[in-house]
Chain A
Amino acid sequence: MDSSVHLDQIVMRFGDFTAVSRTDLKIESGEFFSFLGPSGCGKTTILNMVSGFLSPTEGAIRIGGEDMRNVPANKRPTSMIFQNLALFPLMTVAENIEFGLEVRGVARSERKKVSDRLLNLVALPDSGKKKVAELSGGQKQRIAIARALAVEPRVLLLDEPLSALDLKLRQHMRTELKEIQRKTGITFIYITHDQGEALTMSDRVAVMSAGKLQQVADPMTLYRYPQTVFAASFVGENNKLTGKVSSVEDDRVSLDCGPLGQLTGTTRQSLKVGEEACLFVRPEYLRRCEADTPQSLRMTINELNFEGSFVMMDARLHANQQGVRVQLNTDAYMADLTPGAEVSFNYQPSEAIVVGGAHV
C-alpha cells in the first residue's frame, strides 16, 4: 500500500507569525523520516498538520497520493505518539491499546487478540490489567507505541517520544523503534531535537530552523556534507571558521580567513570569489602537526576532558582567540598536551566542508 506523505507546498501561519514557511517534501512509503531542529522551529506544527489537528494555511497534505484537506483527524490513516504520551489515565493498559479498535466497533474478543499481540511486541505481556499510573516511564512509552500501532496506521507520527526517558532507556528504545519499523513497514515520521536520535534511526533527516527546511538528506550525507551554515552547526560538533572565498578550483575552495590565513576545504556548492563563506572542520578531523604546515591552526589548550573512548580538548586559536574543540584518540593523548600548552593541529582539505554564507 502507498503510505507516502507529501507536504505539497504547505505554509502554516498563526496570525502574522509564520510557523512553517513554504515547504514541499515527499516522504516515501515505508521510510523512517526525521525532522530535526531546535525547540520551537515548527516540528510539532508539521505533525499536527499531517495528523489533521491543524489545517495548513496554504497547500495540502497528501497521504498515499490522497488529498487530506477534507479528511478530519479521526479519519486519517495516521497514528501519533505524543510528546507527553497522552495515555488515558482512567483506563487500564489494555483499554488504552484497544481504544482505537473500540471506537471502530471491533468486538471485544477481537480487540483482546490485538492487545495481547501488541503487548508481546513491546515486550510487556501480562500488563494489560495494570493501571497506567503503575507503569514506569519506559513502560508507558511502549504502551503508547502499542496503542498507536493497534489501529494499523499507514503513517506513524512520533513527537519527541524518547525525550522524557533516561539515557540508557533512550538508547534501548531507539533500537526497538527501528526494529518495530522494520517489522511493520509503516512510514515513520519522527520528530526530535536530538541529532543522535535522528542520525542513528532515520533513512532521511530534514534539518529545520525557524520554520524552514535547511537540508533533507540521509544521515551520512548530512553529517559529511552539510549544505547550510545552520545544518553544519546543528548536526554534530563542528568548528566554524569564517572567511571570504579567495579561489575556487573544482570542488576545492580556499578561504581568506583573515588572521588565520588561507584555509582550504571542499564544497558541493558553486561559490564565487569574494563571497562570504564558512569552513567547517569536525573535532575528529583535526590532527596534531608541526607548526606552519598547510591548513594548520595554532592554539593554546584550555582544558582536556576525558570522555572514555576519546579525550575532548578545548582550545583557543592563537590568531583570533576563537574557541575550537579537538577530539583526540585516547592513545594519542600525549603527555605534552596539558592545559596552557601551545600546539598545532591541521586537517585534510577533503575533510573540511565549505558552505556559503556567514550566519545561521
Chain B
Amino acid sequence: MFKQLCNRFGTPISVGIAALLLVWLIALVILPQLLMVDYSFRPNLLPSEIGGPKDSYSLVNYVTLFNNKIHLGIFFKTIWSSVMVTALTLVVSYPLAFYLAKVATPKQAALCLLLLIIPFWINEILRTFSWYIILAYNGPLNAMLQALGLIDRPLRFLSGNGGVMVGMVYAYILFMIFPLYNALESLDANQIRAARNLGASWAKTHLRIIIPHAKPGIATGCIMTFMLAAGSYAVPALLGSPGSRWFTQIIYNWFFEGGNWNQGAAYAFLLLILCIGFIGLVMKVFKVGLGDIAK
C-alpha cells in the first residue's frame, strides 16, 4: 500500500502522510488509551501521594466491581438490555432494509433513505429528548391512545425500560439498517425467485436463502448496535428512570462525581472487555468470521 502511495504522490509526500497518520494514531488514540490503562491499575491518591510508596500497580479497582452487588447487577442488566435493544433494532430494521434493497424502486429507496437520514442531522440529545416529550405521561402518545379509546388512563412509558429501549432503537437504527441493506442489496434477485419457484413460502425463503446470505451484514449491524447501546450515555440518562440505570452512568459518576478516575477507568475497561468477549462468543455461536464482517 505504501508503494502505491509512493507511485502516486512521490516519496516525500507519502512519507509525510504516513508520519502524520502515525502521529495522529499515537498521540490521539493510543497514548490516551494507554494512560487510561495505567490509571485503572493504580489507586486513587491525593496529588501529594502520587509517586509515593502507596502508588503501586494492583487489580484492586477491577475487583471493586465484583464486590459491589448493585454495580454488578447494573453491569449485567446493561449487557442484557443491550442485547434486547440489538434484537429489537434488528427486528425493526430487517423488513425496512429488505424493502429498500429488494422491493422498492430506486426512486422509492432514495426517498426512504433520505427520510431515514434527515432526523440524524439533528443532535442526538435533541432527538432523544423529543422521545421524552412524546412518551411523557401527559404527552401526545398517551393523548392519542386515549383519544382512540385504546386506553382509559395514561401509561407511564418512561418508568421502566421501555423508554430507553425505544430511544436506543431510534438512536442506532441506521447502524443496523445500512449493513443490512448492503448485505441484502448484494443478493441476486434470482436467488429469491429460485427459492419461490421451488415452492418455498416467504418465511422459508427468508429463513433459508435471504437471512443466510445477509448474515455478515446482520452480524456487523448487531455488533455496532450492541457496542453503541452498551456504551450509550445520553439515552439512558434522558429516558431512563432510576430503576433503569445504565452502567455508563456509573462510570460517569466515578469520573465526574466521585472524582475517582482510576476506578472509572477500570469500570470502563471491564465493560469494554466484557462486550468484546460477548461479541466473540456470539460470533462463534453463529459461525461468523471476522473476514465475513470486513466484507
A residues sitting closer than 8 Å to B (CB atoms) are: 51-53, 72-75, 78-80, 82-84, 86-88, 90, 99-100, 102-104, 147-148, 150-151
Q: How far apart are B127's CB and chain A's nearest CB, in angstroms?
A: 38
| Known interface pairs A86-B188, A90-B213, A103-B208; A74-B199 also in contact (CB < 8 Å) | yes
**Contact across chains for A86 and B193 when beta carbons are under 8 A apart:** yes
Interchain residue pairs A-B with the least CB separation, the first 3: A100-B198, A86-B190, A86-B194
Docked Cα-Cα span, A83 to B198, in Å, equals 16
**Contact across chains for B200 and A82 when beta carbons are under 8 A apart:** no
- Verify if B201 is at the interface (C-beta below 8 Å from A): yes
26 contacts between A and B (CB under 8 A): A73-B193, A73-B196, A73-B197, A74-B197, A74-B199, A74-B201, A75-B199, A78-B197, A79-B198, A82-B193, A84-B190, A86-B190, A86-B191, A86-B193, A86-B194, A87-B194, A88-B195, A88-B209, A90-B212, A100-B198, A100-B199, A102-B208, A103-B198, A103-B200, A103-B204, A150-B198
| Known interface pairs A99-B200, A99-B208, A103-B204; A88-B194 also in contact (CB < 8 Å) | yes
Interface string of B30-73 (1 = CB under 8 A from A): 00000000000000000000000000000000000000000000
Docked Cα-Cα span, A179 to B204, in Å, equals 33
**Contact across chains for A79 and B197 when beta carbons are under 8 A apart:** yes
Docked Cα-Cα span, A83 to B213, in Å, equals 20
Query: Which chain B positions have C-beta within 8 A of A53?
Result: 193, 196-197
Query: Which chain A positions have C-beta within 8 A of B199?
Result: 74-75, 100, 103-104, 151
**Contact across chains for A82 and B190 when beta carbons are under 8 A apart:** yes
Query: Which chain A positions have C-beta within 8 A of B196?
Result: 52-53, 72-74
Number of interface residues of B (CB under 8 A): 17
Given A104-B199, A147-B198, 13 additional A-B pairs, CB 8 A: A51-B193, A51-B197, A53-B193, A73-B193, A73-B196, A74-B199, A84-B188, A88-B194, A90-B213, A99-B208, A100-B198, A103-B198, A103-B204
Q: How far apart are B213's CB and chain A's nearest CB, in angstroms?
A: 7
Docked Cα-Cα span, A227 to B166, in Å, equals 68
Docked Cα-Cα span, A78 to B193, in Å, equals 12
Q: How far apart are B141's CB and chain A's nearest CB, in angstroms?
A: 38
**Contact across chains for B191 and A88 when beta carbons are under 8 A apart:** yes
Docked Cα-Cα span, A73 to B205, in Å, equals 12
CB-based nearest A residue for B193:
A53
**Contact across chains for B201 and A103 when beta carbons are under 8 A apart:** yes
Residue of A80, A87, A88 near B197 (CB, 8 A) is A80
Query: Which chain A positions have C-beta within 8 A of B204?
Result: 103
Query: Which chain A positions have C-beta within 8 A of B193?
Result: 51, 53, 73, 80, 82, 86
Q: How far apart are B265's CB and chain A's nearest CB, in angstroms?
A: 43
CB under 8 Å from chain A, chain B span 175-192: 188, 190-191
Query: Which chain A positions have C-beta within 8 A of B213?
Result: 90
CB-based nearest B residue for A76:
B197
Docked Cα-Cα span, A299 to B239, in Å, equals 91
